[in-house]
């Protein structure tokens, strides 16, 4: 099983939104095979708590503008690890230190990465 076209659309909208707020180390993982609840994890890092909240807010705002509603959000008040669940896509925005500590990339290392071409996406939207 692979990620659905809708999940990939969500991913690219979310990745561009995160990138616009200087998210670092964006990684997308196709988790559709081991998880029945979602297709893709998008992982991103912020430099500090304010940056983490800004990234998460921008992702949520852009996806809502595109007609997608979040099913759940957690962690915004702390700004250390914000989780946004959009069904087919779950976005994890971490503070750099928390991302290293929880190491989701290692936990899901057997899931294929999805390429993110943010430079092309930026040129298309200009």
List of domains in the chain: 5-116 (3.30.460.10)
Pairing of strands 40-46, 89-95: parallel
Q: Distance between CA atoms of 49 and 30, rounded to whole angstroms? A: 27
Is the pTM higher than 0.85? The answer reads: yes
Query: E-assigned strands of the chain?
Result: 24-30, 40-46, 72-74, 81-85, 89-95, 113-114
Alpha helices in 21-117 (DSSP H): 49-65, 96-102, 104-107
Contact yes or no for 90/5 (Cβ under 8 A): no
pLDDT tens track of the chain, all 126 residues?
A: 688 999 999 999 999 999 999 999 999 999 999 988 999 999 999 999 999 999 999 999 999 999 999 999 999 989 999 999 999 999 999 999 999 999 999 999 999 999 997 764 443 444
Pairing of strands 40-46, 81-85: unpaired
């Amino acid at each position: 099983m692979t990620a659905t076209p809708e999940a990939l659309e969500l991913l690219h909208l979310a990745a561009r939104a995160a990138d616009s707020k200087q998210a670092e180390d964006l990684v997308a993982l196709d988790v559709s095979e081991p998880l029945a609840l979602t297709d893709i994890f998008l992982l991103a890092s912020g430099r500090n708590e304010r940056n983490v909240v800004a990234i998460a807010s921008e992702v949520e705002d852009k996806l809502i503008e595109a007609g997608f509603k979040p099913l759940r959000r957690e962690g915004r008040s702390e700004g250390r690890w914000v989780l946004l669940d959009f069904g087919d896509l779950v976005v994890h925005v971490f503070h750099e230190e928390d991302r290293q500590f929880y190491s989701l990339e290692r936990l899901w290392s057997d899931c294929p990465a999805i390429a993110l071409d943010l430079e092309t996406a930026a040129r298309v939207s200009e």
